Structure 1
């Protein structure tokens, strides 16, 4: 946005990738950094409508390795990461839904096969 697109863009999508999260991510801290960056960008480009986008969840590790991890009491790849992504998405929805444009990519993708993700409950 600091170059040419910031001069002529009318709409810009602002999102994090699923790869920006790992099992140790502090979702609240990451959201706060996002919020500050979002406000900064909006101030720098007041004529641009920024659309907040939730972060998609990923599939949880399957196969033999995933099953062995579960049996051994370890988290399969994707379980803890999805918990962090979901928490971040909740913060994004709480802050922006109904106030600023929000595209809920995570919810849209989650409805694909009507499957749900559960963690500890």
Structure 2
């Protein structure tokens, strides 16, 4: 009896391990070459340096600002990065930023951003944007409701503060699960980091692209993270396409390493430069 039971346990373990390997091989696709970091031109940096910007964010936003500080030519262009919600502290060539709201509660971020903009910050800057985080959108999110709240909030601010240009931002992504994360997900851990969660983020991001990609007002951080501009292939989960944070830009399952941070910062510079010039 003990021998039979042991054989069954071993067989079950082999089946589980085989499934895990299949899942991981399907989920993680290793890019043959790492994503390239395309830095902004000197002209783009010089243009960026003549603007004032407010950036509301949480941790991935902090990665972007670290990347901005590390870009070649930032110091020479005279770009300053400060953490401040004081409108009086913002001068030309300044990127002011602050940690806005609570992760996992997107409405708290929208409310805090509106309060800050309406209390004087909008009049102090040329450009302003609020980026939600990957933890704000997952498989349990009412994506349509968050999308409507986000776009309505930005549109309302734009109407009240026409001299300021408000940008939109896609939601960052999570990496594909590796074997350890896959096993954790079977145990009820690693919530919000699976393919179904990136599917929800893709729905949010695709809707933003449809509405704003042609306006020049979209900071598409998710496209940078996934390498969409470098021919990244979409994955499929239950018939729905989605993208992931590429391993070559990832410090962990949800945050950017130095290269990813610089790539995202470069895209922010280009977005603002294009919006400023109307191209």
Shorter chain as normaliser: what TM range?
A: 0.7 to 0.9
Work out which of the two has the higher radius of gyration on C-alpha atoms and give 1 or 2.
2
Deviation at 1:10, TM superposition (A): 0.5
Aligned equivalent of 1:118: 236
Name structure 2 gaps, 5 residues minimum: 1-116, 240-279
For 1:78 and 1:113, how far apart are their aligned partners in 2?
A: 22
Query: Is 2:153 the counterpart of 1:37?
Result: yes
Q: State the distance in 2 between where 1:49 and 1:106 align.
A: 21
Provide the aligned length of Structure 1 versus Structure 2.
Answer: 117
Deviations 1:29-56 (A, max 9, x none): 2111112111111112111111111111
Aligned partner of 1:88 in structure 2 is 204
Any stretches of 5+ residues in structure 1 without a counterpart?
none
TM-score using structure 1 length: 0.80
Three-state SS of the structure 1 residue aligned to 2:224 is: helix
Secondary structure at the residue paired with 1:52? Answer: strand
Q: Which has the higher contact order (CA 8 A, sep 6+)?
A: 1
Higher helix proportion: 2
| Aligned partner of residue 2 in structure 1, secondary structure | helix
| 3-state SS of 1:57 partner | coil
- CA 68–17 in structure 1, closer or farther in 2 if over 3 Å, else same: closer
Residues of 2 paired with 1:65 and 1:36: CA distance?
36
Deviations 1:44-79 (A, max 9, x none): 211111111111111133233504757xxxx98321
